[in-house]
Structure 1
Amino acid sequence: MGTRLLVIMVVVVGLLAAGLGVPLALASAAAAQQDLFTRRLIDTIYYASSAERPLTEADTSQLAAALRRYDEVYGDAVLVLDAAGEPVVASRTPAPVLDEDGRERVVLALARQPSKPYPLLLPWDDRPMVLAEPVLADTEVRGVVVTISSTAPLRADELRTWTLVAAAALVALAVGVLVALPVVRWILRPVRRLDEGTGRVAVAVLAGERPDPVADGSGPPELRRLSASFDRMAEQVTQAYSAQRAFVADASHQLRNPLTALRLRLSNLHGHVAEDAADDHVAALEEAERLSTLLDGLLALARAERTRPVVPLGIDAGVDDRLEAWRPLAEHSGLHLVREGTRGLRAIGPEGAVETVLDAVLDNAVKFTPPGGTVRVRTGVVDGQVEIAVRDTGPGLAPDELERATDRFWRSPGQINTEGSGLGLAIAARTVELGGGELGLDLPAGGGLRVTARLPRA
C-alpha cells in the first residue's frame, strides 16, 4: 500500500511538472522561432527593396557584394531570382538549391504573397528557414529575394530549454519523493501496526491472554480512531472467547460428578426394575454412557484450545505408543494395524500432539473399518513437512463431506447411529493448527478414508 501511495504522489507531481514545464518549453521555443523569423523577414524585405534598381538596371555587382558580407556575418545564404524564377545573384558560389518548400515560397512571392510563419520546429527537424519576398517596381514583380537561414542555433537553444525543463521535472520528482516518504510512513504507520497486531491478537485470544494494544496515537485521526476501535474489539473478543472456553471446561467438569452419581444410581437399579421397564433402564444407561463420552470430548476440546508451548516431537515414539495402545482393540475387531514409511523423523508442535491426533484418528478408523480390514499409519516428509497419514478401508465419506468432517459435533448422515461425539477430528485439527500445521482428508484410490496430519519439520 505504501508503494501505491508513493506512486500516486509521484504521478501527481510528474503530471504537475509536465503541465507546467511542457507549455513553458513550447512557449520559449515558439518565441525564439518567432524572433528569428521576424529578424530574417526584415532582412529579406530590406534586400527585396534594395534589389529593385540592380534588377532594373541589370547591374548587380554592388548587390552581390552586400549579400556576401551579410552571409559572412550571419551565415545565412541570400539568393536573388528574376521574374522567371532563375537565379540572378547569390551570396555563395555555387548558388544554393531550394527544396520543395523553398520553391513553393518563391511561387507565392512571385504572386505577391507574403512569407508565412513556420510551424514550430522541433529539435530533430533540421530543415532551414526559407523566406521569400517579391522585388517590386511600382506594381510589377521584377524578381524575388530569398533568405535561407540555418535553424541549428535555434534547435540547439530549444534542446537546451527542453533539457532544463526535464532536469527541473526530475528534481521536482526527487523532491516530491523525499517529501512523500515521511508522509506515507506517517499515514501508513497505524495500518502497519494493525497488520502486525492482527497476528498477535489472534495468538493472545487463543491463549486467553490480554492482547497488546495496537493504537499508539500516531497517524491521521481517522486511522487513530480505527486503531482504537480495533483494540476495543480485540479486548471484547478475548473476553468472550475466554468466557466461552471457561464455560465449556467448567461445565464439562462440573457435570461429571452428577453424571457419575447418575450412572451409579442407574447401575444400582439393576435387578430392581420391573420387567416392563427393563428396556428403558438399559436405554437410560446407554444415554448416560453417551453423555459421559460427550463430556470427555468437550474436556479434550477445551484442552486442545489452550495454547501450549511448541516443542520438538519425536514421531516414532508417539506413533509406536499409540499403535500398541490401539492394537488390542483392533485385533479384537478383526483389524490389522500396519506401520509404514520413514522412521527417525522429528517435527515441531504442541507437546503430546502426535498422541492426541492419533487417538482421535485411530478411534474413527477402528470404529468404521469392517472386520478383516486394514488400518495403515504412514510417516514421511513431503514439501519440507512431516506427514502422519492414517488410512482405513472403511466406507469413507462423500466428497462434499470432507471439508465439514473437522467441524465440531458434525457427523456424516450415514453414521448417525454410530457411537461417537463428532469431536475427534475437530480436536485433531485444532491440535495440528496450534503447531503451525494442518489436517487434511482425502479419498484414496481403492476406497476408505485417509487423514493426514502435517507438522513443520524440526
Structure 2
Amino acid sequence: MNSRLVVTFTTLIVFLVAALAVPLGLAYASHRTNRLLLDRRADATRFAELADHAAREGDRSGLLAEITRYADLYGAAVRVRDRDGSLLLTAGRFEADDRDALRLALSGRTTEDLPTISPFGPATVLLAEPAGRDAQLSGVVLLQAPADRARVDVTLVWAALALGALVTLAYAVLVARRLARWILRPVTELDRTTQAIAQGRMDARAHPGVGPSELRRLEVRFNAMADAVAGAMERQRAFVADASHELRTPLTVLGLRMENLEPHLRVEGTAEYEEAMAELDRLALLVEDLLALARVEAGAGVEGKEIELGPRLAAWREVYGAKRVRLVTDISEMSVVPEVAARIADIALDNAQKFVPPGGTVTVTLADRLLRVADDGPGLGEEERAEALGRFWRSGAHANVPGSGLGLAIAAELARSCGATLRLLPAEPHGLVVELRLPQP
C-alpha cells in the first residue's frame, strides 16, 4: 500500500512536471529558432540588396568580397543565382539541397520559417531571399548558416529544465514517501496491533496520534473493540475457571459419598454403581481439563523456563510397559526444551498410550528444534486431523476411550503461547505423528 501511494503521487508529479517542462522547452526552442531566422534573414536581405545593385551596375566584385568575408567569419555558405537559376557567385561550402528554396525565392517569396532547433539538429539552416524590387526579380540569394550556437543554447536550456525536473521529482518522491507514511501510520499501527493480538497478546493496543483524523478515529474505535473483546474473553475464561474450580469440591464429596454407599448395594445394582462411578470419574477429568485449558488461555503456567526432556520421558516407560507398548526415544541426553514443549509431549504420549494396541511402538525424536511423537496406531483421517485440535472433539471410532476431548486443544493453546507450531501428520504405513516446531531461541 505504501509503495502504491508513493507510485501514485510520483506519477502525478511526473505528469505535472512534464506538463510544465515540455512546453517550456519547446517554446524556448521555437523562440531560439525564430531569433536565428531573423538574424540570418537580415544578412540574406542585405546580400540580396547588394546582388540587385551588382546586377544593375554589372560589377559583382564587391558582392563576392562581402559573401566571402561573411562565409569565412561565420562558417556559412552563400550562393547567388540569376533570375533563371544559374549560379553566379558562391562562397563557403554549400552542402544543402537548395532546389526547394530556389523555387520559393524565384516565386518572389522569402523564407518564413525554419525547422525547430533542438540538441539533435539540424546542423545548418537554409534561407532564400529574392533580389530585386517588386516584380523586377534580378536574382536569388541562398544562405546556408550553421545552427551550432542555437543548438548549444537550446541544449543548455533543456538541460536546466531536465535538471530542475529531476530535482523536483526527487523532492516529490521524498515528500510522497513522507506523506504516504503519514497517511498509512494508523494502518501500520493497526497491523502491528492485530498481529500482536493474533499472537496472544490480548493487551496490545494501537497508539493514536499521527495520521489522518478519520484513521485516528478508526484506531480509537479499534482499541475500544479490542477492550470489549478482551473483556468478554476474560469473563469467559474466568467463568470456566471459576465453574471448574467450584465443581471440584462437590464432585469430590459426591465421589466419597458414592464410595460410602458401596457396602449397602445389592448385587443387582453393582453394574449400575460402577457405571455411575465411571461417569463421575469422566466428569472429574473433564473439570480438571477445563480448568487446565482456562489456565493456559489466561497465560498461567506457561513460563519460559527450560527443562531436560529425557527424565520427563523416562516417567512414561512404566506406563507404556504396563500397556505392553514399546516407547523409543531418540534424543540427546542433554536435550533441553521449554517446559511448554514437555507438557505437549506429555499430552501426545498420553493420547498414544490410549490408542496404540499392545505390541505397538511410539517414537519420540528431537532434532533442530523439531519435536515429533509418532505412533503406529490406527491414526486419523485427513478430515479428522483437521478437526482434532478443536475443543471436545472425539473420533467416532474412539467413543469408548476415556478422555475429555480437550487434550490436543490444550496442546494447541500451549504451542500458541510460546510461538511454536503444532501439526498432526499421518505416519507410514499407519498411525499419527504429533509434530511441534519450536521457535528459534
TM-score by structure 2 length? 0.89
1:340 matched to 2:337? The reply is: no
SS in 2 for 1:456: coil
Instruction: Give yes or no for contact 1:443–1:449 (8 Å, CA) kept in 2.
Output: yes
Classify the secondary structure of the residue corresponding to 1:120. Answer: coil
Q: Is the 8 A contact 1:336 1:374 kept in 2?
A: yes
Please say if residues 205 and 238 of structure 1, whose CA atoms lie closer than 8 Å, have aligned partners that are also in contact: no
Residue 189 of structure 2 corresponds to residue 193 of structure 1: yes
For 2:12 and 2:260, the matched residues in 1 are separated by 86
Tell me if 1:120 matches 2:110. no
In the alignment, which residue of structure 2 is the partner of 1:27?
27
Match of 1:99 in 2: 96
Query: Structure 2: which amino acid aligns with 1:238?
Result: A
**How many angstroms apart in 2 are the aligned matches of 1:422 and 1:320?**
27
**Counterparts of 2:237 and 2:315 in 1: how far apart (Å)?**
30
Conserved 8 A contact 1:353-1:432? yes
Check if 1:363 corresponds to 2:350: yes
Amino acid corresponding to residue 359 of structure 1 in structure 2: D
CA contact (8 A) 2:296 2:302 kept: no
Kept in 1: contact 2:302–2:417 (CA 8 A): no
Contact kept? 2:78, 2:94, Cα under 8 Å: no
Asked if structure 2 preserves the Cα contact closer than 8 Å seen for 1:370 and 1:394, the reply is yes
- Indicate the SS of the match to 2:29: helix
Query: CA offsets, 1:404-435, max 9 Å, x none?
Result: 22112222333233322221112122212222
| Aligned residues of 2:248 and 2:287 also touching (Cα < 8 A) | yes
AA partner of residue 334 (structure 1): R
Task: State the distance in 2 between where 1:369 and 1:178 align.
Answer: 65
CA contact (8 A) 1:389 1:452 kept: yes
Look up the SS of the partner of 1:121 in the other structure.
Answer: coil
Q: Which residue of 2 aligns with 1:327?
A: 317
Identity %: 38
State the secondary structure of the residue aligned to 2:224: helix
Amino acid at match of 1:365: A
Which of 234, 239, 245 in structure 1 is aligned with 2:237?
245
Ranges in structure 1 where 5+ consecutive residues have no aligned partner: none
Q: What is aligned with 1:450?
A: 433
Structure-to-structure mapping, 1:153-302, within 5 angstroms: 153-177=149-173, 179-180=175-176, 183-201=179-197, 205-206=201-202, 211=203, 213-270=205-262, 272=264, 279-302=271-294
Aligned residues: 440
CA distance in 2, matches of 1:320, 1:377: 13
Change (3 A) 1:110 1:98: farther
The alignment partner of 1:51 has SS state of: helix
Q: Secondary structure at the match of 1:419?
A: coil
Using the size of structure 1 for normalisation, the TM-score is 0.86
1:375 CA displacement: 0.6
Instruction: Give yes or no for contact 1:205–1:237 (8 Å, CA) kept in 2.
Output: no
Kept in 2, the 8 Å contact 1:380–1:387? The answer is: yes
Let me know the Cα RMSD of the aligned residues. Answer: 2.9
**Residue 423 of structure 2 aligns to a residue in which SS?**
strand
> Conserved in 2, the CA contact under 8 Å of 1:396 and 1:447?
yes
Distance in structure 2 (CA, Å) of the matches to 1:375 and 1:179: 62
Task: For residue 438 of structure 2, give the secondary structure of its aligned residue in structure 1.
Answer: strand
Q: Aligned letter for 1:68? A: T
Aligned residue number for residue 318 of structure 1: 309
- Would you say the 8 A contact 1:319–1:354 is kept in 2? no
Q: Is the 8 A contact 1:408 1:422 kept in 2?
A: yes
Q: Given the superposition, is the C-alpha separation of residues 271 and 309 from structure 1 closer, same or farther in structure 2, using an over 3 Å criterion?
A: closer
Determine helix, strand or coil for the equivalent of 2:121: coil
Supply the distance in 2 between the matched residues of 1:138 and 1:227 (Cα, whole angstroms).
85
Q: Which shifted more, 30-39 or 153-162?
A: 30-39
Instruction: Report the residue type matching 1:375 in the other structure.
Output: V
Taking the aligned partners of 1:36 and 1:158, their CA distance within structure 2 comes to 12
Query: How far off is 1:74 after superposition?
Result: 4.3
Q: Is 1:248–1:298's contact at 8 Å kept on the other side of the alignment? A: yes
Aligned counterpart in structure 1 of residue 403 of structure 2, from 408, 417, 420 = 420
The answer as to 2:365 corresponding to 1:378 is yes
- String of CA shifts for 1:377-405, please: whole Å, max 9, x gaps: 11111xxxx12211100111112332322
The SS at the match of 1:390 is strand
1:62-73 aligned within 5 A: 62-72=62-72
For the residues of structure 2 that align with 1:78 and 1:255, how far apart are their CA atoms? Answer: 117
State the AA in 2 paired with 1:452. Answer: E
- Distance in 1 between residues matched to 2:286 and 2:86, nearest whole Å: 117
- How far off is 1:278 after superposition? 5.0
Spell out, residue by residue over 1:236-270, the C-alpha distance to the aligned partner (whole angstroms, 9 max, x if none): 12211211111111111111222223333444443
- C-alpha deviation, 1:30, in angstroms: 0.6
- Alpha-carbon shift at residue 191 of structure 1 (Å): 3.4
